[in-house]
Structure formats: structure tokens, C-alpha cells
Amino acid sequence: MTTGTAWARAGLVLAAVLAADQVTKVLVRNALAVGERREILGPLDLVRVNNDGIAFGFLGGGQAVVAIAVAAALVGLIVYFVLNAGRPLVWLPTGLLLGGALGNVFDRLRDGVVTDFLRLPHWPAFNVADMAITAGVIALVFSLDADRGH
């Protein structure tokens, strides 16, 4: 695969994740007040939470630390992709991770907090961006492992 094709594919995944994330957050912000909860399917609840930390509220209230951590992660990911764009499937985790990170960054810039809205029992609330970041990390680990021939 050419580097240009890898960039295009990563960009498409990024755009799809970002659009899905932002649309779902708008729907939730329009339908629920902060703290409001609705049952949707079995153990999955819809609940609106304002998260001022990073993953699952970690570093809540530390906006400067959060901004530095997110910026460092994004720069590191972009550098990795620039150096490895020709590797098979590396575009997928890159698009997932960038799309998810940017979805949450846009929330922080606009609202000062991230809108989380899905909750499972005994698990903090999360959103589409968080799901993309988690899937991106898993896909990145698998792509790295595939490179080693395992």
C-alpha cells in the first residue's frame, strides 16, 4: 500500500469516528440533563456525564495536565504513523485513535468537559470517542504483533 493510500484511509476512519462521536454527543446533550439516566438495553444505560478528566475521569480537574498528556499522545501517534505509514493496517488504529482523541478534544475546547453517555454496571460512563480509542489501542497492538510475525 502506498503512503498516500494509508493517509487517505486513516483520514476516512478519523472523519467517520469524529462525525459519529460528535453527532451522538449532540443528541445526548439535547435529550438529557447532566446526571439524567435512561435504561436502553439490558445492562447498558444512557446517562449524561460531564467528564473533566481523561480516560474514565482520571486526572479530573487537572486541565493543564490533561492538555499536555493529550497533545503528547497525539504528537507521538502522528510521528509513529509518519514513520510507519507503509505497514499493513497501521492506518486503522491511527484513524481510530486520532478520531477518538479529536472528538474528546473538541468537547474540551467547546465545553471545557467531555460528554460521556454510555454506562455499564460497575464501569464509568464513556462515549463513541472512548470506544474508538480503545479499539484503536487494541488494533495497534495487533498490528505491531503482526509485524513481528506472530
pLDDT grade for 25, boundaries at 50, 70 and 90? very high
**Catalytic position from the list 107, 130, 145, 147:** 130
Note if 130 is an active site residue: yes
pLDDT at 137: 92
pLDDT at 63: 63
Q: Which residues pair with 35 in a beta bridge?
A: none
> Strand, helix or coil at 87?
coil
**Catalytic position from the list 52, 107, 116, 145:** 116
Residue-number span of the structural domain to which 67 is assigned: 3-147
Neighbours of 139 (CB within 10 A): 21
The CA distance from 82 to 10, in Å, is: 12
Write out the three cell numbers for 98.
486520532
pLDDT at 43: 93
Mean of the pLDDT values across residues 22-51?
A: 95
pTM for this structure? Answer: 0.87
For residues 127 and 25, the answer to whether their CB atoms sit within 8 Å is yes
The CA distance from 49 to 129, in Å, is: 14
Q: How many domains does the chain have?
A: 1
Note if 116 is an active site residue: yes
